[in-house]
Amino acid sequence: MKKKFGMILALGCVGVACFTAGCATGSKLDEYQKQGYKVMVTYDANGGEFLGRDGVMIMDLFKPADYEKESDGKVHIQLTEPTDANRPTSSSDKVTLTKGGYFFAGWYETREMLKNEDGEVIDEEGVVLKESNGAYVYPDTNDSAMPAYTYDNHWDFATDEIVYSDEDDVVEMTLYAAWVPYYQFDYYYQKDGAWTLLQSTTFDYKTTNAEGSKTYDKDTIWIPDWKDGAMNHTYTYANGTNFEFPKIAGTTFKAAYLDEACTQKIEDEFVHSGTLDVEHGVAVNRVQNIYIEVEQGEWYRIQTAEQLSLHGNPAGIYEIQADLDFDKGDGSYWEWPAAFEANTFTGKFYSADGHNYKIKNATALHISSTATFGGLFGKVAATAEIKNVTFENATFDLYATGVKLQDAEYGLFAGYIEEGASVSNVTLIGGTVRIGQVNWENGYSLNLVANGYVSGLQTTDKIKLQVYGMELMTSYYYAIDPTSVTVDEDFNVSMSAGYYDLTESSYDIEY
């Protein structure tokens, strides 16, 4: 029978033929040759790392005299791939071969550095390199660089053999590890009239396409779609990890294309078109460009109160597409977005089809220790637009603040509406303003509807006003005197602040 393994020279720690550069040269190899080891195979990591160590290579030595000759009178030696689990070692450590950001394509007998049309050596991205002391560097920085290679004579460990005859003296062969950069999606968007790279995502082509791979869909991207009222950029891979389609801040995804002219639209999903030229160990169409079309602003399409509760963005553009009821029907309520209540709203909130939709039973709870305004919308900016909506039975609960309020503005619809804000066809049907443990100072403005420019608002039914206390042992603490509260014809509220110990938990204010 033929021997399967030859002599495997080793470093003591791992028991494989691992040599650092220059280790197994000169007299040491001459000595092995005199002992009959005439076939020498070197495995060059070619920029990768055996066992996580830089500059390590593996060498196998074979003694032809130990092998039976075949019918052709020659010795046939089959090699064992360096990382094969059956390769013998002197320890339990397995031989590893890695290179960050690259996958291993195979072993090849010959390699040739890639050059551009001018005959200059280049890296995988086509960047020109220069030679320096036997190595290659980037010209501008002198940082070390790895030339790109193309390969020939792919070695198949299942079928290929070294054939040795008695006429041969010493046979030396080097097999080179071929490395291919991870395949890539490059995402571009329009900036200042030009396509600009936004982001790149990569994947291991070989692992993804391996038979039975658990990451078989890593070569696929999924186009964002509407989900729960917002544009969803997340897709879950088969292995449970997430793919995130790139998002441009302040915009909403509209479409994605394969070409700069935006004529080849991607529908739903797209599989990377790259392939691997195994014969030469190089990628074909490794980089796939994706061109993204967006709309300015972060858009939401709201059909339920739950969706609005999930997506509070004071700069958002909200298309209200149905009546929204924040009452769940079981005694609980969806939360009104806190980001609306204590911030300046600069976006849009409207019925896109012109129908006036009702928003029922929304409650804005003010607990901010810093905001000096509050309401369903804390403040409505001059650039904002709110139209074609009706708020029915809304509540603004001025629960508490952490600092004394001075120059503060509050209202059921908004603390303040700035001049220039587009507020039109907005109606309040009833509603309630509640006042709790608030530390009042001079200069506050509390209005049952809103402060500022309210011409676009209209009310039907009376807005209720309630003052409530904090429970003590046998009574309730009040920050204002309920008997001092008054409301004028423009819905401005006046009151006296202080400390009041009262017996009732709340008081409805008549006006």
Q: What is the pLDDT of residue 365?
A: 94
Residue 61 lies in a domain: yes
Name the pLDDT band for 482 (thresholds 50, 70, 90). Answer: very high
Return the closest-CA partner of residue 429 out of 384, 380, 375, 392: 392
Residues 286 and 423 in one domain: no
Instruction: Please name the residues in contact with 223: beta carbons below 8 A apart, sequence gap of 6 or more.
Output: 245, 253, 256, 266, 267, 268, 269, 270
* Tokens read off for 78: 């089959």
Q: How much is the average pLDDT of 178-206?
A: 97
Q: What is the pLDDT of residue 17?
A: 46
Whether pLDDT at 386 is above 90: yes
Chosen domain end from 270, 296, 322? 296
Residues 254 and 236 in one domain: yes
Chosen domain end from 180, 197, 231? 180
Number of domains in the chain: 3
Whether pLDDT at 456 is above 70: yes
Q: What is the mean pLDDT of the chain?
A: 91
Tens digit of each residue's pLDDT (9 = 90 or more) over 411-447: 999 999 999 999 999 999 999 999 998 877 667 889 9
Residues 364 and 501 in one domain: yes
Q: In terms of residue numbers, what domain contains 408?
A: 299-508
Least confident segment among 10-14, 308-312, 464-468, 499-503: 10-14
* Tokens read off for 4: 């399967």
Whether pLDDT at 7 is above 60: no
Residues 231 and 360 in one domain: no
Return the closest-CA partner of residue 466 out of 495, 424, 489: 495
Tens digit of each residue's pLDDT (9 = 90 or more) over 483-497: 999 999 999 999 988
DSSP state of 177: E
Residues 305 and 353 in one domain: yes
CA distance 416 to 412: 10
Tens digit of each residue's pLDDT (9 = 90 or more) over 273-308: 999 999 999 999 999 999 999 999 999 999 999 999
Residue 1 lies in a domain: no
Task: Report the DSSP beta bridge partners of residue 410.
Answer: 374, 446
Q: How much is the average pLDDT of 21-35?
A: 68
Q: How much is the average pLDDT of 38-47?
A: 93
Name the pLDDT band for 89 (thresholds 50, 70, 90). Answer: low
Residues 284 and 365 in one domain: no
Tens digit of each residue's pLDDT (9 = 90 or more) over 239-277: 999 999 999 999 999 999 999 999 999 999 999 999 999
Residues 319 and 286 in one domain: no
Name the pLDDT band for 10 (thresholds 50, 70, 90). Answer: very low
Q: How much is the average pLDDT of 57-61?
A: 89
CA distance 303 to 318: 10
Q: How much is the average pLDDT of 157-166?
A: 95
Residues 330 and 477 in one domain: yes
What pTM was computed for the model? 0.84
Q: How much is the average pLDDT of 159-170?
A: 94
Q: What is the pLDDT of residue 19?
A: 45
Say if residues 384 and 414 touch (Cβ distance below 8 Å): no
Residues 454 and 340 in one domain: yes
Say if residues 262 and 157 touch (Cβ distance below 8 Å): no
